[in-house]
Structure 1
Amino acid sequence: MGCTYLLTTGVSLTAAWTTLNRPPTSAELQIAANKEVARRWEAWPAERIFPDRITYQPIAGHSEYATRTGIVPDTACAEGVDDVIANTIRRHECRAVLRATYVDQLQGIVVTVGVVAFPDPWKADRAYKELPGAQGPEGTGGVSPALHAAPFAGTASARFTDDARQDRTIDRGGPYVVLTTSGQVDGRPAAAVKKERPGEPFALAPQLGHTIARSLSAKSLPDCDDPLWRC
């Protein structure tokens, strides 16, 4: 009996030691990578989520830079969006809405970008499918429901209010839905814009949203020795 007990204990200890000291499996690394991505909204500095400058192409083959004018400190889900959107994202367990505002290189167009964080990609996808999509032709008198505009005093975005919202876009990456809302830096009310404008004056907005969504959702190779990772 005693020998059997010692043998069983020895096998158990050996199995435990092997489990604790073996390299993580591919499945475990994938789980760790997913967890790291889902924590970025609170683990990354705001300036990393919203870089100071983001490249966009107003026309094919020509690159310009959009410059960040400010980052909103409030991350509450209900504060960053209109009520209809707030109800949808809360239903899918929104964790935060992060917002920052950019102006184009010519400082004629202003874009507020909003990152909506969810617990996992499946909840983000369900919310994405229920949220209003991109705005149609311009000159329709504004967009609602949409992301709230975020003006910053003393910058080119100072006059950008909700009344000036003329365009919206939506994108998704991993557990994040990225919304944008755009207007003109002079703050003219969207209701005053009666005619469609030639070209695509707000073409930078979906590009900014896509760049941020891609950065937030790109998986890194897990480093299980780094305390930031949970392998």
Structure 2
Amino acid sequence: MSFGEPEGYDDDARPRPLGRRGRSRAVAAGVCLVLGMGLIGGAVTGSWLAGDSDEARAHTGFAAAGSMWHSVPVDRLFPPTVQGRGAGPGGADRTWTRVAVAPDSGCKGAFDPLLDKVLAPVGCRRLLRATYTDATQSHVTTVGLLFTKADATRMASLARRFDREHLDRRSDLMPRTHAAKDTVADGFGARQRASWTISVLTDAPVVVYAVSGWADGRTVDTPQPAEEAVRSGTGTAPGQAGLGHDAKGLADRVERALRKNAGSASEQPS
């Protein structure tokens, strides 16, 4: 006597070994498992290839900012008129009007030798500058955008050095002005510098700076960094005149415009 496989019945009531259904179910389960793993792996790979991470977006924005010196119109980087709501002493509103734009250039001779040495580690790709005056034409301010050759690591290193050594407050590291002939800024030279600010960005390969002074050409014996000149109760001439507010206010707004333009550029399809 021999024993065969136990039988069941199919849909037509015909005998069928029960073991076959078990094997069929095992094969089907294996196929489902393989398909499921493939779908999961594909989703993860697709997310990675799409560059959906914050790191990828930050890298894209950094790269986009570095090319804006030739891809963004000057009126978007240095608007003809800049509104500074609450940017003046005591929270007063300020309005600055652009009086000159310097031709884009390299950095040779653009900075005093010591500042040039401090900025050397990030290199110079291009320098853009514009000069503004306030509504009363009593003050003039040059704003600059130094587009560097550095990557994010080197920009972060320079920013840390500026912060650690307070380089943005040293009067021997003041940026130079852009004096334009036949404008209110005609006499705006090295000895007329009264207040300044320098900001090393870490989310873009750019150094933003501004330097302000009086439009009447008066010389300044003791310039004051903007961070100190904007403090309430300061008794210095640049502070009381609001020249620190001019430098800081314009630099802040140009920096905001830069970031806005960089964001727009990085969102455009390639």
- Normalised by the size of structure 2, how large is the TM-score? 0.64
The reply to whether residue 196 of structure 1 matches residue 241 of structure 2 is no
Q: Compared with structure 1, are the counterparts of its residues 89 and 160 closer, same or farther at alpha carbon in structure 2 (3 Å cutoff)?
A: same
CA distance in 2, matches of 1:124, 1:101: 26
How far the C-alpha of 1:37 sits from its partner, in A, is: 1.8
CA distance in 2, matches of 1:151, 1:88: 24
The reply to whether residue 205 of structure 1 matches residue 247 of structure 2 is yes
Of 217, 222, 226, which residue of structure 1 is paired with 2:259?
A: 217
Which structure has the highest helix share of the two? 2
Structure 1 segments unaligned to the other structure (5+ residues)? 1-18, 136-142
Structure 2 segments unaligned to the other structure (5+ residues)? 1-44, 224-234
How far the C-alpha of 1:211 sits from its partner, in A, is: 1.1
The reply to whether residue 151 of structure 1 matches residue 179 of structure 2 is yes
Q: Which amino acid aligns with 1:124?
A: M
| Aligned counterpart, 1:62 | 92
How far the C-alpha of 1:200 sits from its partner, in A, is: 4.8
Higher RCO (C-alpha under 8 Å, 6+ residues apart): 1
Q: Compared with structure 1, are the counterparts of its residues 178 and 191 closer, same or farther at alpha carbon in structure 2 (3 Å cutoff)?
A: same
What is the aligned length?
199
Aligned-pair identity in percent equals: 22
Of 136, 157, 172, which residue of structure 2 is paired with 1:106?
A: 136
CA distance in 1, matches of 2:183, 2:249: 22
Per-residue deviation, residues 196-223 of structure 1 (Å, max 9, x unmatched): 3262521121111111112213452644
The reply to whether residue 123 of structure 1 matches residue 154 of structure 2 is yes
How far the C-alpha of 1:31 sits from its partner, in A, is: 3.3
Q: Secondary structure at the match of 1:26?
A: coil
Q: Secondary structure at the match of 2:142?
A: strand
Cα RMSD (Å)? 2.8
Of 120, 134, 140, which residue of structure 1 is paired with 2:169?
A: 134
